[in-house]
A and B are shown apart, each in its own frame.
Chain A
């Protein structure tokens, strides 16, 4: 039988999954952590601590400000030494809480035992409350607060939870390793979210290039009613929410709508695992799995369990002894990651990987003229015409940008990847979205 995939566009990448067989190891504790108070979409959290305060792992540092916001917890034990605007990876000055690490003490109600707790005695409201208090956000990269996605808005009906284990990005293997090592926890996490949503059906979607995860999860899911594994074709950007829904259910989410409008909720496996830990183990989101990868740039690649707020340089120093070969440091994967300006920028709840590009790969080839081959049109999973968007920007034709539905672009970068003229089409699309938003 043909494996499922989304109908429109997409590209086949050489995925460079160099670290898929490396077990998750603990990265250890840095001397200082820098915890940004905005690691999610929405309002920055309200700071609750002051300079000089002693904190433990799991202490609440900042409170969610409004519905679209999330709690921030301390990832280490120690003393708050500074609360200031510090330059993050994108060179934005962001308010961060700086904590000097002293020892490794945990808040007493966090359950650190390795036992798997299978019973779910909580009511849906209790589950959502626990998720909210753990500060969980969508860990695939969007950072949408998870409590909103575990409550169904009035008048809407949801029938399927899709657990997103696709990880279609190049280089990243954090989700892959998590599925291999924490398979049962993920399944229980899916059951917990199902209970909160009041539905029975959960589908774990896995890319066909992860045979070990498929084997383990398929075996385990037989023990759990209502949890099924669906193997998808290895195609980029299969892990994008709307593309995944189209692949699994065949339903199309129209541009202005949300997945919940077609009866689906999509959660990343990292998020589902965090939900399990929050609900069953009272563990707030203070650490995550980060892949360190790159061709020829580093010798110690791997998947690390990293405390939120650890500076990137701490992890990079662990993985390579020759930082001079590194051409670019990218936060995220090869396709959608953003190159970092500041090596000391902290890893947040949303950093799924650090990609060390060697100096040869980091150079962008020069742009040449568009030859109207329309490969970008074929590749676009949203059915847009990237070359037309680029020329509309060049001509300052903002009305045309709206006609081309520029705002539906998901910024996957497939167009720029396939362009034989090496035109930075993704940059044009980003600029186009900016202009359309400015006009309206």
Chain B
């Protein structure tokens, strides 16, 4: 019994002494932290996705807390969206402009049907690897490789490969436009665009810069740089045989017409009326 008692007393005593030392040391060497940083961090989603351009949520919180009125306007957490930014602004006593919600869009329609595979890749399933040792799985050297690096990169489960087309599909409700897919895609096929009013947006779903005839040969729905869209909206630019619709084009007003005019259906309008 005495052995047991001695053991408890000795170990307990050591523990007590260590605790007292630690207490004073912790007071002496305490790192001062800005309470506002912690308060902001609590409001943030805490996924550390890096969409804001900072190293993580804590880094973003630090940037918010040390920002002045002007620099604060440049900070935005797209995962939390306007509501979270509003809360942070109220906490810090600043104002933040409302931003349009954004979403990632895939600028390629080179599905298994539109741009058939020219070989079967038996190695590691990775778009980046295919892009390095070859160009693409389909004939189009600019198109989607359909191996799903973007699906694996998405932390929010907003992407999946469609079994019908072989292309990745963005789930609008889950996408927080963090930009992970934009960064990983070796063909740079993703773009973060405003969601648009009632989810209506219009964009060119193609990145092919080959000449019209070649592009069309490689993929049925390639942009052939025919300039027809520029006649409807003059702010649309065609460069290197490829059209690009700026994000400020009114999708509701021109979307339907643009999509109907495009001879190869390379222009996608999400609010398209079913006929």
Q: Which residues of chain A have a CB within 8 Å of any CB of chain B? A: 90-93, 338, 341, 363-364, 396, 424, 427-428, 430-431, 434-435
Contacts and interface: CB of A to CB of B under 8 A. Distances in A.
A93 B126 contact: no
B128 interface: yes
Contact of A431 (B122, B126, B134, B141): B126
A430 B134 contact: no
A92 B128 CA distance: 15
B18 interface: no
B262 to A, nearest CB: 25
Contacts of A434: 128-129, 132
A341 B128 contact: no
Given A92-B135, A431-B128, A434-B132, A341 B118 contact: yes
A219 to B, nearest CB: 43
B132 A91 contact: no
Nearest to B126: A431
A292 B129 CA distance: 28
A338 B133 contact: yes
B124 interface: yes
A92 B134 contact: yes
Contacts of B141: 92-93
B135 to A, nearest CB: 6
B135 A431 contact: no
A424 B130 CA distance: 14
Contact of A364 (B119, B122, B132): B122
B134 A341 contact: yes
A363 B123 CA distance: 11
Contacts, number: 40
A409 to B, nearest CB: 14
B47 to A, nearest CB: 14
A91 B134 contact: yes
Contacts of B133: 90, 338, 430
Contacts of B123: 364, 424, 427
Contact of B126 (A92, A363, A364, A427): A427
Interface residues of B, number: 15
A72 B122 CA distance: 34
A321 B132 CA distance: 34
30 contacts: A90-B133, A90-B135, A91-B119, A91-B134, A91-B135, A92-B135, A93-B135, A93-B141, A341-B119, A341-B134, A363-B122, A364-B122, A364-B123, A396-B153, A424-B123, A427-B123, A427-B129, A428-B124, A430-B129, A430-B132, A430-B133, A431-B124, A431-B126, A431-B128, A431-B129, A431-B132, A434-B128, A434-B129, A434-B132, A435-B128
Which among A91, A341, A424, A430 has the greatest number of chain B C-beta atoms within 10 A?
A: A91
Given A364-B122, A424-B123, A427-B123, A90 B128 contact: no
B118 A91 contact: yes
Nearest to B123: A427
Interface string B109-120: 000000000110
A364 B122 CA distance: 7
Contacts of B128: 431, 434-435
Nearest to B124: A427
Nearest to A328: B122
Contacts of A93: 135, 141
Contacts of A338: 133
A284 to B, nearest CB: 30
Contacts of A427: 123-124, 126, 129
Contacts of A91: 118-119, 134-136
Contact of B134 (A90, A363, A396, A428): A90
Contacts of A430: 129, 132-133
6 closest Cβ pairs, A-B complex = A427-B124, A91-B134, A424-B124, A427-B123, A341-B119, A364-B122
Contacts of A90: 133-135
A364 B136 CA distance: 21
A363 B141 CA distance: 26
Contacts of A428: 124
B185 to A, nearest CB: 12
Nearest to A341: B119
A251 to B, nearest CB: 32
Nearest to B122: A364
B110 to A, nearest CB: 15
Nearest to B149: A431
A192 to B, nearest CB: 36
Contacts of B132: 430-431, 434
B272 to A, nearest CB: 34
Interface in B154-205: none
A435 B131 CA distance: 12
Nearest to B130: A91
A428 to B, nearest CB: 6
Nearest to B134: A91
Nearest to A425: B124
A281 B200 CA distance: 71
A290 B119 CA distance: 25
Contacts of A363: 122
A427 B136 CA distance: 16
Given A92-B135, A93-B141, A430-B132, 4 more contacts: A428-B124, A431-B129, A434-B129, A435-B128
A435 B134 CA distance: 16
Contacts of B122: 363-364
Nearest to A438: B128
Contacts of A364: 122-123
Contacts of A431: 124, 126, 128-129, 132
Contacts of B119: 91, 341
